[in-house]
Amino acid sequence: MKRKPDSMVALVFLFCLGLAATGFASILSDDEPRLSQAAVTQTLAEK
């Protein structure tokens, strides 16, 4: 069976690494401003 080109393997690896980095960044970031904005929007909509 033929082996995939190294460039394709590297591209897939970098894509997965980017996904993992994005996931960790979103977990570690502070989500309070978005939650507060949603609460204010909901409160204003109820009035």
Q: What is the structure's pLDDT at 20? A: 95
Taking only the tens place, the pLDDT of each residue in 14-41 is 999 999 999 988 888 865 555 556 666 6
Give the span between the Cα atoms of 27 and 41, in whole angstroms.
24
Single-letter amino acid, residue 13: F
Q: How far apart are CA 16 and CA 2, in angstroms?
A: 23
The answer to whether residue 1 is domain-embedded is: no
In a domain, 35, yes or no: yes
| Residue span of the structural domain in which 11 resides | 6-46
Rounded Cα gap, residues 15 and 24, in angstroms: 14
Domains: count for the chain? 1
pLDDT band at 46 (very low <50, low <70, confident <90, very high): low
pLDDT at 26: 87
31 token code pair? 């989500």
pLDDT reported for residue 4: 74
